[in-house]
Every structure is written in C-alpha cells, then in structure tokens.
Amino acid sequence: MKIRMALFFGLLLAAWLALFWGYRHNPVLIDERWHAPQVQRFSQGDFSLDPELSMTPGYHALAGAVVFVVGDDSLAMIRLVTLLGSFAGVVFFYRIVGQLWPQERWVRTAQFAFFPLFFPFLFLAYSDVWGVVFLLGAVDAALRKKAGWCALALAVAVVIRPPAILWGWLLWVMVAGDLREAKRGWPWLRQVLRQTWPLLLVAAGFWAFVVWNGGVAIGPRDKMPVSCYPTNVWFFLGLVAIFFPVQCGRAVGVIWARGRRTVWQVLGGVVGLWLIFGATFHLAHIFNRINMDYMIHNIVLYQVATQPWARLVALAILPLGLSGWLFTPLAQERLRWMGLVAVVSVLVIPHIDPRYYLPAFALFLAFREPLSRRVEWTMTVLYAIGAAVLTSSSFRLLYFP
C-alpha cells in the first residue's frame, strides 16, 4: 500500500513539474508583478509592504522564509516553492476523501490535482492555492475532531486569504457535531464550547484585528471594499454548470422525480432567479473591465453584459449550476453548510475572478457523492486536458483564466 501511494503521489508531482518546467523562466504574469517582489523583500529582511497589496502578507512571509533558507530569490525559485507548497494540498485532499469515500480516494485526488481552475496558479507567485492548502488541512483536522490543529490551519489560511474566515462556520459545525442536540440546552453548549474553543478563538482574533485595523484590507481598501456583489455568485454558478455538468444533470433529474407540484415550484423559482439576475448583473470592478483580449473570465463577463446571445446562454446554465450546487448529495448532512458558506464567501468580493472559487470547488470535489467509474475517469481525463491547455495558453500569453 505504501509503495502504491508513493508511486501515485510521485506521478502526480512529476506531472506538475513537467508542466511547470517549460515555463519556469517566463516573465511575470498579471499579479506576480506585486506578489513576487514582496516575497523577495521578505527573503532579504525588508519587511516593508507594497502599498498596492491589500491582503495580509501570509503567503509572502511563508514563501519568503523558504526562499531565504534556499538562498535563491529568483522568480523561478519562488514559482517552484509555490508549486511544492501547493502539492501539500493534494496530500490533505487525499486524507479527506480517504475518510469520506475511501474507495474513491485515488480517482478523486487525481481530479483535484488536475482541476483546471488550479492552473496556472499552482506555479505562479499567487496566494490563492496556498490558502486552499491550509483550508484543506483544517477540514482534514475537523473530520478527525482535532480542534486545535483545525484552528491553527484555519488561522494560517486566514492570514493568507482573509475571506477564509467564513469557512470557520463549516469547520465549527464539523467539530461540534449534530446541531440538533442543541435542544439539550446548557450541557450540550458547555460540551461544544469545550470542543470548539480554539476555532472560536480564531474568530475572535480575526474580528479584533478588523476592529483594530478599521477593516480587513491592509492596503488600498477602495480596490476590495466588502459589500454585496451578486454578479460574483452568478459567475460562480455558471462555472459549477461547466465543471460539474453530470452533477447538475442528476440534480435536475432529482427535482423532476419529486413530482409535478415540485416542478412547478421550481419553475417559479427559475423565473425568479432570472429576474434577480437581470436586475443585479453588473461589472462593478475596474479589474473586470480590462484585459478584454487576454483574461478569459473578463471576456465572458463582457459578452454576457453586452450581447443578447451570451445573456441567453447565461440564463440557460444558471439554473443548472444552482441545481447542481444545492441538490448534489454529499458525504454527510452537516457538510451541506458548504453550499451557503461558498455563496457568502464570493458574494462579499467585488472583483469577479474564478480563483476566488477554488476553496468551494476543492471541497465540493471532496464531499460530493461518487459517480460511475467510467464517468469519474472521464472527468479526470478532461480535467487534465483542461489543465494543460490553460497552463500553455497562460504562459504563451494567449489567454489567462
């Protein structure tokens, strides 16, 4: 078993390195122009912060420490350090699926390792994938009821990507157990507080920082003001339909099987969804109105905002994405909180970008029920092809996800 596991992880890492190797010396891409110099400054003992960075510098500090130890602060080394750190997420994901769906751990881990939206961020000086890594570590600890390790991993995830604090609710539920036991009153509450106090401490620390700092951002707050941005949810649901079409189709079948009365209720809900979409779809952020010839998500968003045919396509796939997200069976009932947390986590971010959906998609990949073996392996192959295409197009300056 150990030999099989070592071979499995070795092949996955070799595939990552093969994709990375040909592009390791490419010029900086998009936000690397801010993140890479910040890592280099930290590695050189300069702890001043780039005024253009609005996030807490957790990724930069961790990567900078590794780069300092290695003694090479080149862009290629920063990218390699990011890749190797990202691979820890594959290990955590394997452990999570091993607890929920033991028979699925191999194929599901391969799907995670080659999920297209993780590429090319696995290789770049970006913080997003490392945030997912520590969130997966927290989920792994929560499933094992290790609240201390769960809280520590969540704290690091929050320092890397502050919106990760919202996933603290899901982690709290996972550690606390069956919330229906709350009817027992104080004895239950006392037991839960004893079990979950480390997570509550992380939440208290985060909100204390927000009060002290006057907000979440430490840099220019006008770039990422926290509010309510439904367009981010619409784009998220569209990607659910694209990357999980089988689950969306099965969810529609489940709804149809519930009877004519339920179907009519759902149709009314779809019409309501369309009306809300029409009233709230808006490209509010400047970052979504630039690079229209390179950024795939900006190209798509602009088409939906300006072209009737693209708007009709969006209207068609949004109900599919919502159905798949809400009605796909998960490994445990308490994990259904993931759906709400995911929506809130993207609703508060003004900049529409698929990398902000990586935590939700990673957990959905781990929690969802298995499909047939043929479908699972077909999805794996398609994901791998998509990963290779996105990596190649990004570094060749054709398209960036």
34-48, 79-93, 281-295, 316-330, range with the lowest pLDDT: 281-295
Give the pLDDT score at 375.
Answer: 93
Give 178's pLDDT tier (boundaries 50, 70, 90): low
Tell the burial category of 396 from Cβ atoms under 10 Å away from its Cβ (0-12, 13-18, 19+).
exposed
| Angle, helix 308-327 to helix 296-306, in steps of 10 degrees | 120
Q: Is the pLDDT of residue 1 over 70?
A: no
Q: Is the pLDDT of residue 358 over 90?
A: yes
What are the pLDDT digits (tens) for 237-268? 999 999 999 999 988 887 777 766 666 777 78
Give 179's pLDDT tier (boundaries 50, 70, 90): low
Give the pLDDT score at 83.
Answer: 92
Mean pLDDT of 117-127: 85
132-136, 358-362, 389-393, range with the lowest pLDDT: 389-393
284: in domain: yes
Mean pLDDT of 330-337: 89
318-353 b/e with 16+ CB inside 10 Å = b? bbbbbbbbebbebbeeebebbbebbbebbbbbbebb
Give the pLDDT score at 225.
Answer: 66
What share of the chain has pLDDT > 90, as a percent? 39
Distance, CA of 221 to chain centre: 22
Higher pLDDT, 136 or 57: 136
Give the pLDDT score at 226.
Answer: 67
Most confident of 169-173, 250-254, 389-393: 169-173
Give 97's pLDDT tier (boundaries 50, 70, 90): very high
Distance, CA of 52 to chain centre: 23
127-131, 263-267, 306-310, range with the lowest pLDDT: 263-267
For 294, residues 6+ apart whose C-beta sits below 8 A from its C-beta are 397, 398, 399, 400
324: in domain: yes
117: in domain: no
Q: What average pLDDT does the structure give for the chain? A: 86
237: in domain: yes
Q: Which of 373, 363, 345, 341 is nearest to 93 (CA)?
A: 363
Query: Can you give the residue range of the structural domain that contains 248?
Result: 227-370
53-57, 223-227, 296-300, range with the lowest pLDDT: 223-227
Total count of domains within the chain: 1
| Angle, helix 58-70 to helix 32-43, in steps of 10 degrees | 50
290: in domain: yes
Give 194's pLDDT tier (boundaries 50, 70, 90): confident
CB 150 within 8 A of CB 199: yes
pTM of model > 0.85: yes
248: in domain: yes
176-185, 239-248, 342-351, 357-366, range with the lowest pLDDT: 176-185
Q: Is the pLDDT of residue 285 over 80?
A: no
Q: Is the pLDDT of residue 183 over 70?
A: no
What share of the chain has pLDDT > 70, as a percent? 92
Number of CB atoms found within 10 A of residue 69's CB: 10
